[in-house]
Amino acid sequence: MEQKTNAFLETERVGRLMRRYAIPCIISLLVAALYNIVDQIFIANAAYLGSYGNAANTVVFPLTVVALAVAVMIGDGCCAFVSISLGANERQNAHRSIGSAVLLCVASSLALTAVYLIFMDGILTLFGGRVNGETFAHAREYFFWIALGVPFYMFGQAMNPIIRSDGSPRFAMVTTVLGAVVNVILDPVFIYVFKWGMMGAAVATVLGQVLTAALAVWYLCHMKAVRLEKDSFRVHPKLVKKYIPLGVCSFLAQISLVAAMAAINNMLQKYGAMDEVFGQAQYAQIPMAVVGIVMKFFQIVISIAIGIAAGCIPIVGYNIGAKRFDRARELFDRLLLSEAAVGLAALVIVQLLPRQLIAVFGAANESVYYTQFAVRCFRIYLCMTVLATVNKGAFIYLQAMGRALESTALSMIREVVFGVGFALLLPRFFGLDGVLYSMPVSDVLTFAITLALVARTRRQLGESMDGTAAQAA
């Protein structure tokens, strides 16, 4: 019998495998998140851009998340399916799914770029870009160049989990890190030296994404566990129907964030105009700029949480495919503890150091209202971060097990029903603070569902362990 590829996923210690796979994945996601965050830091500290540029960045950010959502749906779904296929020693399914994922990614990225360029003004308006004229002008300039880089961004992000599924988490990490380094080096040059403003920030980002995409192409030509063939690069409908549902959870986690951000931006615009301070034209952009910054910090936290869980996808998938349910349950327990620790660390930071956090984003150049609102925003919006990270870990674990329907339904409840619903409802009673309360309320209610989910999943894994043991006897 032919030896299974990546058999070490079934034999190596679970804790060691988690570190080996999760740490590179965390770094990759953090670096991907830092693309936009680094732009915002340099923009905020450029006197000629300031909070107007910050607000513009906040407007465009969810539109980059749309591209990421499609990319991770393809990449994470393919990653989970490839891992399960390798665990079951089905190599043909593995290489064909990767080839079709490449084609899907290229086609969808080109289509999204076309939509962005054709409907630019309407899209920016939908996401609150017309809070004032200067913010809209900056958003338009930034978005044009970001849209041109969408195909490179999506390709790099989609291939990253696929590279991990091939047993190369470190290479996946390096491709993203090198692209981010290019962005960090070029941002200050383009913004401060050349004075290219929002265009400079966007071009620096796109050049980094081009490098990441190029390295991903190189790896596809030198894969280890899976060898791509000419037959791989066709759209295989039967395989697509199997791996896309496994990535729908990742897609909804991102795309529903976009829906929440659209709702939040519009509520900030509406209720900010009714506020005594932020109703004044010179301060109108502050709530949107500040909430965008707080979301960026949360993105760092949630990137770590997702990185821990997504890094475990190949391990979970392989052991489920190999019927090692004992290892799958051990991994589940370790994952949830790790997620809780990340959330707790983030909670301590936002409660104790909100002024220091906002100072990184150019608070010294802004009014006192900017800092005051930022402190309140950090402390309220992120007060239930521990629950948010645990929820995310549980959802992604289900995805890795191949339980796409449950994972998708839970993500929809959290991000759309609760996330969007409370963002629209609570401001009616609490004004601007209602926008901030929408996040913790959503996380508390979701956690109540997650507790039942965790108990059920552990029980099912235990039953599967007993069944496997009985068969072996």
**Alpha-carbon gap, residue 265 to 294, rounded angstroms:** 13
Ranges 36-45, 92-101, 127-136: which has the least confidence: 36-45
339: left (phi over 0), alpha (psi -120 to 50) or beta: alpha
pLDDT on residue 250: 75
pLDDT on residue 463: 78
**Alpha-carbon gap, residue 199 to 387, rounded angstroms:** 38
pLDDT, greater one: 106 or 450: 106
End-to-end CA distance of the chain: 22
CB atoms within 10 A of CB 181: 13
**Average pLDDT, rounded, for the chain:** 88
pLDDT on residue 245: 86
Residue 323 has φ and ψ, to the nearest 5°, of 65, 30
Ranges 243-247, 335-339, 425-429, 458-462: which has the least confidence: 458-462
Q: Where are the domains of the chain?
A: 14-465
pLDDT band at residue 6 under the 50/70/90 scheme? low
pLDDT band at residue 1 under the 50/70/90 scheme? very low
To the nearest 10°, report the CA torsion of 302, 307, 310, 316: -120
Q: List pLDDT tens digits, range 415-468.
A: 889 989 999 999 999 988 999 999 999 999 999 998 888 888 888 877 777 666
Q: List pLDDT tens digits, range 37-77.
A: 888 889 888 888 878 888 898 899 889 989 999 999 999 89
Q: List pLDDT tens digits, range 174-192.
A: 998 899 899 999 999 999 9
pLDDT on residue 396: 85
pLDDT on residue 472: 58
Q: Looking at the predicted structure, is the pLDDT value of residue 142 above 90?
A: yes
Q: Looking at the predicted structure, is the pLDDT value of residue 8 above 90?
A: no
- What is the sign of the dihedral through the CA atoms of 248, 70, 35 and 272? negative
pLDDT on residue 448: 92
Ranges 72-76, 129-133, 363-367, 423-427: which has the least confidence: 363-367
CB 79 within 8 A of CB 98: no
Cβ-count burial 431-469 (b if 16+ within 10 Å, e if not):
bbbbbbbbbbbbbebbbebbeebbeebeeebeebbeeee
Residues 6+ apart with CB under 8 A from 42: 187, 188, 191, 192, 201
Mean pLDDT, rounded, for 11-18: 84
pLDDT on residue 359: 85
pLDDT on residue 90: 82
Q: List pLDDT tens digits, range 383-420.
A: 999 999 999 998 888 877 777 778 778 878 888 899 89
pLDDT on residue 2: 47
* Token pair for 246: 């496994």
pTM over 0.85: no
DSSP designation for 168: -
Mean pLDDT, rounded, for 193-211: 95
pLDDT band at residue 473 under the 50/70/90 scheme? low
**Alpha-carbon gap, residue 197 to 195, rounded angstroms:** 5
Q: Is 141 helix (H, G, I), strand (E, B) or coil?
A: helix
**Alpha-carbon gap, residue 336 to 462, rounded angstroms:** 17
